[in-house]
Amino acid sequence: MPAETTKVVPLTCHGHSRPVPHIHFSTLVEEDQYYIISACKDGNPMLRDGVTGDWIGTFLGHKGAVWQARLSSDATLAATGSADFSAKVWDTHTGEALHTLQHNHIVRAVALPNQPRPQILATGGMEKKLRIFDLSRSSSTSSSPTVDSSSSSVTPPSYEIGAGVHGGTIKSIVWAADPNILITAADDKKVRWWDLRTQKTIGEYTVDGVVGTCELGNTSDDGILSVAAGKSVYFFDSASPGSLIKSVKTPYELASVALHSGQGKFVTGGGSQNDTWVRVWDFNDEKELETNKGHHGPIWSISFSPDGKLYATGSEDGTVKLWKNTLGPYGLWR
């Protein structure tokens, strides 16, 4: 790749006052428009324009750190998981909480199926329980977003899948392209595939290290699941339970990884206080292509934009950065 592609100053999104443990893009909503949400330990997840990083709004209501935040594919809904023992579902147009889902411990992971205005939510965390909530079953709350959801008595029904299977905190939940298949990554160093119809595991893989991120590729050609654990990154065929495509061992402790299979490269984020670098790698040759400096703390989350023309990083330093990943002008890089 020519040096001018990425050797430009990243855009820095300020506004958070604590570390940013997770970021997530919507898909392309209109022609070239998409959005990004950032979870933050300040308890105030933020919605931004994905192309420019411009602030759109802050979701107010959590009383503890927000560990994970996700957007529905059409960006009409957001879901957040928090240290206040709750997950919330938000209307992104009004900023109102449509549902507050109480748990018995910290919620570390939330997932929405990849469909417009989804009616189902998966949650997990320090309870070590994978829960599925039916959001369609509490229409009285969702039809009036102005209702104070924290005091609303209408809670969507939920059920647990695989009771007792997870041996550690559930760090990430990913919906596969097949809406019946869920993937979880937990602190017991296992990545598991679940079938919602049988409510049982249909595959698992043990990684060599503590799981950092576990995410599906965000560009349209990606059905590949990328996992960062210890000093290695793992790439799985998300549609084939437990099927490892390849793993790459690096010299670094890693906290995060994102893959752009169409461009044949992946990006990793350092996981230690001394390693605050963003590294770009060749997927096939497994060689380091670029090292980008800009953050002042570990990089907890990385994601490519849905058009692949930039990638975003969320860090311990409380910022989200957008890094250009295309030739020529794009967004605010003119």
pLDDT in tens, 131-164: 999 999 864 443 333 333 444 447 899 999 999 9
pLDDT at 323 over 70: yes
pLDDT for 221? 57
Q: Provide CB contacts within 8 A for 27, sequence distance 6+.
A: 34, 73, 74, 114, 218, 306
pLDDT at 3 over 90: no
The DSSP 8-state label assigned to residue 272 in this structure reads: B
Task: Quote the pTM value.
Answer: 0.92
pLDDT in tens, 225-241: 999 999 999 999 988 99
3-state helix, strand, coil split of the chain in percent (to 5) is: 5, 45, 50
Average pLDDT over all residues of the chain: 91
pLDDT for 219? 65
pLDDT in tens, 166-211: 999 999 999 998 999 999 999 999 999 999 999 999 999 999 999 9
Q: For the chain, how many structural domains are there in total?
A: 1
pLDDT in tens, 68-113: 999 999 999 999 999 999 999 999 999 999 999 999 999 999 999 9
Distances (CA, A) of 95 to 45, 50, 57: 11, 17, 7
Contacts 24+ apart (CB under 8 A), 247-251: 248/281, 248/286, 250/279
Tell me whether residue 4 is in a domain.
no
Cα(238)–Cα(178) distance, rounded to whole angstroms?
9
Tell me whether residue 249 is in a domain.
yes
Tell me whether residue 333 is in a domain.
no
Residue carrying the six token digits 């107010």? 60
pLDDT at 18 over 60: yes
pLDDT for 153? 45
Tell me whether residue 3 is in a domain.
no
Cα(3)–Cα(13) distance, rounded to whole angstroms?
24
Instruction: Kindly state the average pLDDT of the residues 279-291.
Output: 96
CATH number, domain containing residue 38: 2.130.10.10
Q: What is the per-residue DSSP string for 120-132?
A: EEEEEETT--EEE
Instruction: Kindly state the average pLDDT of the residues 243-262.
Output: 96
Cα(256)–Cα(278) distance, rounded to whole angstroms?
10
Expressed as residue numbers, the domain containing 268 is: 10-324
Nearest to 70 by CA among 173, 153, 170: 173
Tell me whether residue 332 is in a domain.
no
Tell me whether residue 303 is in a domain.
yes
Tell me whether residue 212 is in a domain.
yes
Tell me whether residue 2 is in a domain.
no
pLDDT at 244 over 60: yes
Instruction: Kindly state the average pLDDT of the residues 114-136.
Output: 95
